[in-house]
A = this chain, B = another copy of it.
Amino acid sequence: MTNYSNDPKIAGKSSLKTIREAINDALRAEMRRDPTVIVLGEEVSGGAGCPGEDDAYGGVFGVTKGLMPEFGRERVIDTPISEAAIIGAAAGAANNGLRPVAELMFFDFIGVSFDQIFNQTAKFRYMFGGKSKTPLVIRATVGGGWRAGAQHSSMLHSIVTHIAGLKVVMPSNAYDAKGLMVQAIRDDDPIIFLEHKTMYDNTCEVPDEQYAIPFGEAAFPRHGTDVTIVAISNMVTRAIEAADILAKEGISCEVIDPRTVSPLDDEAILESVEVTGRLVVVDEGNPRCGLASDIAGIVAEKGFHSLIAPIRTVTAPHTPVPFAPELEDAYIPSVEKILAAVREVIGG
């Protein structure tokens, strides 16, 4: 559990909040501020049509809890299990005056809704010659660690990063989660907002006020001069842990958390590599055509002359996510693997 926030600029009142609470905060305050913000998805409230309590779930991870009681079912909309129709409804509404926040529950469900995401939502503006905007946030949980198996544990951020027209946001801590969600809702482009399911209870100091963190600006949870470690989402915590261990051995790591992978703050990465000459990229996603090799490729192209050692990527293997705990733990990049990669690039 990380307690770190990256470069937080906290003024005024703040309190220790979980990522779950931070996102809920952001949603609630934006919904209060702007009546065109709506939330829709399966169980975002829960209990629709049921004999028992309303707002029974507030999202299966509880992130949207309490929104329905405050804003009503007209703005917090439980839907049938029809992900394509959910995304379509959100995108069509976004083109017509609303700012929907649609939930996909598990990002693994892009499979049944991918056309609406990549062929419709992402391409509207371009196909229409710039004459439309689609201010839409698609929230979803990603990642392993819950022993949820192959169809509920994927990352898949690399797939949406590939798609022009989408922005992809992956917070690593509560402070960023709030600020990035505020920006996502206010942003005029379609946003994929990915929450790692193992991180919801992670806490840090989060300001009470609303604040927006601009996209495409990396955070530097650790500064260092020997090796640059780029890590994303839940991997940031592990990268920090590795960096702190290495610091004791006299190896100075710069940990970069891009926070948004599209747009990507490649300048921050390139500048850091200029100093360190060494790059390790850590990502829970699969390796082929993934974010880690994407960043490696960018640096091999634009930062080649800074490099003094091979780039190392630390990713999941080229396999689906296994169910058994031992296998899943071996699947997800560990602190040990990050340590080994750093030592390798230091050595080599």
Contacts and interface: CB of A to CB of B under 8 A. Distances in A.
Given A297-B294, A300-B296, A126 B319 contact: yes
Interface in A110-135: 110-112, 114-119, 122-123, 126-127
A114 B110 CA distance: 8
A307 interface: yes
Q: Can you tell how many copies of this chain the complex includes? A: 2
A213 B182 CA distance: 53
Contacts of A127: 149-151, 320, 323
Interface stretch (A11-19, A249-257, A309-317): A309-317
Interface residues of A, number: 59
A297 B307 contact: no
Give chain A's interface secondary structure class. Answer: helix
A100 to B, nearest CB: 20
A295 B165 CA distance: 24
A308 B286 CA distance: 29
Interface stretch (A155-163, A173-181, A186-194, A226-234): A155-163
A286 B150 contact: no
A162 B159 contact: yes
Best-buried of A109, A111, A116 by chain B (most CB within 10 Å): A111
A323 B123 CA distance: 12
Contacts of A312: 301
A113 to B, nearest CB: 9
A310 B320 contact: no
Interface string A73-112: 0000000000010000000000000000000000011111
A111 B313 CA distance: 29
A62 interface: no
A136 B240 CA distance: 44
Given A114-B110, A294-B289, A297-B297, A310 B319 contact: no
B164 A319 contact: yes
Given A150-B127, A311-B304, A115 B115 contact: no
28 contacts: A111-B117, A112-B114, A112-B115, A122-B320, A126-B150, A126-B319, A126-B320, A127-B149, A127-B151, A127-B320, A158-B162, A159-B289, A164-B286, A164-B318, A165-B319, A262-B288, A264-B288, A289-B290, A289-B291, A289-B294, A293-B297, A293-B298, A296-B300, A300-B300, A301-B311, A301-B312, A301-B313, A304-B311
Interface of A: 84, 108-112, 114-119, 122-123, 126-127, 149-151, 158-159, 161-165, 262, 264, 285-286, 288-302, 304-305, 307, 309-313, 317-320, 322-323
Given A159-B289, A288-B294, A293-B298, 13 more contacts: A109-B115, A111-B118, A123-B151, A126-B320, A127-B149, A158-B162, A161-B288, A164-B317, A262-B288, A293-B294, A297-B297, A301-B312, A304-B307
